[in-house]
Structure 1
Amino acid sequence: MSLRLGTTDAIVVSSAAAARDVLQRYDNVLAARSVTDAGRALGNHERSVIWLPATSQLWKRLRAVCTNHLFSARGLEATRATREEAVRQLVSCLGRRTGETLEVGRVVFSCVLNLVSGALFSEDVAGLSSDRARELETLVRDTVEEATKPNLSDLFPVLARLDLQGRRRRSAEFIGRFYDFFDPIIARRVKARGSGEHVGDDFLDVLLQLHSMDQLSLQTVKSFLLDLFAAGTDTNTIAVEWTMAELLRHPAVMSKVRAELRDALGSKPCPDESDVGRLPYLRAVVMESMRLHPPSPMLVPHLAMADGAEVGGFTVPAGTKVIINLWAIMRDPASWAEPEAFVPERFVGASDADFRGTDRLEFMPFGAGRRACPGAPMATRVVTLLLASMLHAFEWRLPEGMKPCDVDVRDWFGTSLNMVTPLKAVPVPSSR
């Protein structure tokens, strides 16, 4: 579908075949970014891996740091204990609150927050269920949403200098607050490294080593941490909340998941990542939930850098914005039987590779092509481990008076796919 957005031409891609043209066949022409005016706040677009063009040397360097360190097999193994400890803390916290009606997404966010911060700079930044965690949750969602909200400045660039809706101003405020959050963490680490008090190899150490070699500025380090921190906390939390919602709506599926956990774990109180591979049905449940409720329903828009690309048989002129609608692609009746139904069995036998959008673009919750999310390997581990731990340690019930059909699965369609009504549930100690 083509449309005119103010003074800009755009196409919306809603099928796997058209997505293959964009993300594989003409990836070299269509991999640029259409940077929003809000995304330019504080010059962040010049340092952010989200907004930098794929031809940029800085973009290539940042992507390489991700794939070679944080999300490589070695990097994931190095931070595995941090993830497992964060999940154990969540289970312990839930154990103290059994019988309470909890807002699932809020509790999960607190865990994911410390899990991500531990992987990035080896620090817990907030206590579970603390005011600090809630502040950061709000800041993450405000930052993500503000950068891509509809904006007159994007529709009519001549108006951008006026910032009529205040989008750039608010984005600058949110990004600035994140920089203020990172500053003392970075300062402490620089001081410790300089005095010899700290000898480590976490992700912040890698970035500071590159800074000492004049390959990254400190501003770029902060922008990069912001990209990873915001994406890692928001999407993982959303994926867990939606999966829990579908399980509570489908008691038979919940029973099958818990039976698989009992068979695989026995009396083991809390799973670790080595157990995740023995939970194929839970993996299928996660994949089906992500198909119906992709945490990022629309990919960040691409931009045609030159003429010559063809999408769905139509020529795409240079300067055209390309919007990829993952939500529509993963519910396309041409690709899926009963596309609106929650049927985990369709993914039984799938592997981690199926999350990555390499072969089957009908299912690509993390995008595909050169701009695919590099964090997919960590995200699949985190989401599955969190769910396995929560479902093995506790039975989950709906609040008094609610039936499975009462769970509200309406979505709030923005940069992230949030639930209109946050999911509430009651953890009860598992009888196993």
Structure 2
Amino acid sequence: MDTSKLFSFFWSFSVSVTLTLIIVLLTCLYFFNGRKPKAKLPPGPRGLPVLGSLLDLGSNPHQSLHALSKRYGGLMYIKLGTTPAIIASSQEAATAILKTFDSDFSNRPQSGSAAADILLYNRSDISFSPQSQWPFLRKLCIFHLLTPKCLEKWQEFREEEMALLLDSIFKQRANAINVGDFVNVFTCNVIGQMTLRMRLFDENNAEAEHFRELMDDSLRTAGRFRIGDFVPFLERIGLGGSLNEMKSLHKRFDEFMVRKIEEKKRMPLSGEDDGNKDFLQILHQLKSNSAGEGGQLSESNIKAILVDMISAGTDTATRTVEWAMSELIRHPHLINKVRDEVEAVVGVEDKVRESHLPQLKYLEAAVTETLRLHPPTPLMLPHASPDSSRVIMGYFIPPNSHVMVNVWAVARDPNAWEKPLEFNPERFVDNPVHLDGRDFRIIPFGAGRRMCPGYNLGLRMIHFALASFVHAFDWSLPPGQEAQDLDMSEKYEISIHRSVPLNLFATPRLPTHLYNSQQKAGHM
């Protein structure tokens, strides 16, 4: 037989067999994939090269993302610069991420926030710390600093600060006051006393004033949009502030903290449960013996935790009280209901005390409704998706994505709320909800493992301040302004601020002697 023909025959046969096997394999794969369709990315906007959808966010990203979710759904994929992000905007999506898959999404991205790297000592705080460290820090702080028993120790200081604040407002009764500024005096001085034994609004203490200014600058800096966080190679243009500016601010803050820590080191340590210790003293003492509790507390941890407590504790409570007053002013019949309840419990011959708060159920409902419509942190800090992919609600979640819950949008989910845009405390009177992360329709303090550990302190200050304000004064807008025309637009920073400050006249309702304070109030 001709060898060339034989070779040709075997070659043709081999090719035919190979092609047949390929066809069979592809057919099997086709039918296999047909029976088990591959999950796809959640829907979302296409975005631009390099920038992604950054230009779609605007000055209020929580609102822009909410608008996009109406088009693309409660679970949305979006590119923020070069960063892939998953946005949850519905109760179902929030529950999946913060409950069903909570353990998978409990880590934080370790990139994408220069403020966390620089101002928080390379993410040594509770909020941004990595999964390997945060359980220890959270446990330590809750057990030693934030239990109900620990918070009770500072009740006297909170009531003293409120007395000073009411006295200050009384003296300004002839003028319209900026409500947010006055509430901020109270929250800053309370947190300052608890953390550093220092009133942060005190014209007689230059050191306190300096520290408060540093904290204000830090909050403003951290709240800026920085292009370098989303498109790293554009860092040099400095949009949102340069890294050198942030490092300079951090250096000044650190110098202050080092001085305070050295002061605490010179104080004798005691193993006793001493109610006179401030948070810094307690943290310094824990640094010496924390190894037995599952980790080791460093000096950087101490500084960063204090930043967490002071920034979150002051701004969150301040803005919530300001929004609550705004809503109540817009609805006079509701502020009257709150006032009637407080007066029925407290009377008109005494001031509101924290012991009165558990009886004020309608006030609690008004605060809950305020936190629903005006959550202090509208976009939760980003979670990191795990190294391996997950499928949620039928969609593929890419590894190492930033996963964010739009708390502001969840609270407006029409599937969860009747008339979601209406301010109506009545919805919580007969059906109170827990704000401890169990009800995923309303999660102003987050939920799951990464929930804010200090929410109890925040709620206590909010309830106390609002009850005291409504009980002690009648509030009215300046002449020419109507309640129904009150500007309720928002300004996005670390927390949601009012775009236009709330200026009101305060008319005293109680006997004059109840406004007198023996101490000098911090200046305004």
Structure 2 length normalisation: TM-score? Answer: 0.76
C-alpha displacement at 1:421, in angstroms? Answer: 0.2
Q: Which of 259, 268, 271 does residue 184 from structure 1 map onto?
A: 259
The code of the aligned residue for 2:132 comes to S
Other-structure match for 2:26: none
Other-structure match for 2:311: 230
The code of the aligned residue for 2:284 comes to L
Structure 1 residues 43 and 75: CA distance shift in structure 2, 3 A: closer
Q: Are the counterparts in 1 of residues 446 and 452 from structure 2 also a CA contact under 8 Å?
A: yes
Q: Are the counterparts in 1 of residues 85 and 403 from structure 2 also a CA contact under 8 Å?
A: yes
Task: Provide structure 1 residue ranges, at least 5 long, that are not aligned to the other structure.
Answer: none
C-alpha displacement at 1:163, in angstroms? Answer: 6.9
Other-structure match for 2:297: 216
What is the rounded CA distance, in whole Å, between the counterparts of 1:251 and 1:173 in structure 2? 47
Report 1:28-427 matches (<5 A).
28-34=103-109, 35=111, 36-41=113-118, 44-53=121-130, 55-57=131-133, 59-127=134-202, 139-147=214-222, 149-159=224-234, 162=236, 164-165=238-239, 166-193=241-268, 200-213=276-289, 215-349=296-430, 354-358=434-438, 360-427=439-506
What is the rounded CA distance, in whole Å, between the counterparts of 1:113 and 1:317 in structure 2? 41
> Identity of paired residues, percent?
33
| CA deviation vs aligned residue, 1:25-75 (integer Å, no higher than 9, x gap) | 11111111124133212672341212111x223x22221122112221111
RMSD, aligned CA: 2.6
Deviates more, 1:229-238 or 1:86-95: 86-95
Q: Secondary structure at the match of 1:336?
A: coil
Q: Are the counterparts in 1 of residues 146 and 457 from structure 2 also a CA contact under 8 Å?
A: yes
What is the rounded CA distance, in whole Å, between the counterparts of 1:385 and 1:164 in structure 2? 42
Q: Are the counterparts in 1 of residues 96 and 392 from structure 2 also a CA contact under 8 Å?
A: yes
What is the rounded CA distance, in whole Å, between the counterparts of 1:128 and 1:273 in structure 2? 27
Structure 1 residues 312 and 142: CA distance shift in structure 2, 3 A: farther
The code of the aligned residue for 2:298 comes to S
1:18 aligns with 2:93: yes
What is the rounded CA distance, in whole Å, between the counterparts of 1:269 and 1:128 in structure 2? 29
Structure 1 residues 19 and 262: CA distance shift in structure 2, 3 A: same
Structure 1 length normalisation: TM-score? Answer: 0.91
Q: Secondary structure at the match of 1:354?
A: coil
C-alpha displacement at 1:83, in angstroms? Answer: 1.4
Structure 1 residues 188 and 43: CA distance shift in structure 2, 3 A: closer
Q: Secondary structure at the match of 2:387?
A: coil
| CA deviation vs aligned residue, 1:214-272 (integer Å, no higher than 9, x gap) | 73232321111011111101111000100011111111101111111110111343111
Q: Are the counterparts in 2 of residues 396 and 428 from structure 1 also a CA contact under 8 Å?
A: yes
Q: Secondary structure at the match of 2:423?
A: coil
C-alpha displacement at 1:82, in angstroms? Answer: 1.4
The code of the aligned residue for 1:376 comes to Y
Structure 1 residues 163 and 181: CA distance shift in structure 2, 3 A: farther
Q: Are the counterparts in 2 of residues 284 and 350 from structure 1 also a CA contact under 8 Å?
A: no
What is the rounded CA distance, in whole Å, between the counterparts of 2:455 and 2:379 in structure 1? 16
Other-structure match for 2:518: none
| CA deviation vs aligned residue, 1:140-168 (integer Å, no higher than 9, x gap) | 454235335433322233455x4743443
Count of residues paired in the alignment: 426
What is the rounded CA distance, in whole Å, between the counterparts of 1:397 and 1:131 in structure 2? 35
What is the rounded CA distance, in whole Å, between the counterparts of 1:22 and 1:148 in structure 2? 25
Q: Are the counterparts in 2 of residues 146 and 170 from structure 1 also a CA contact under 8 Å?
A: no
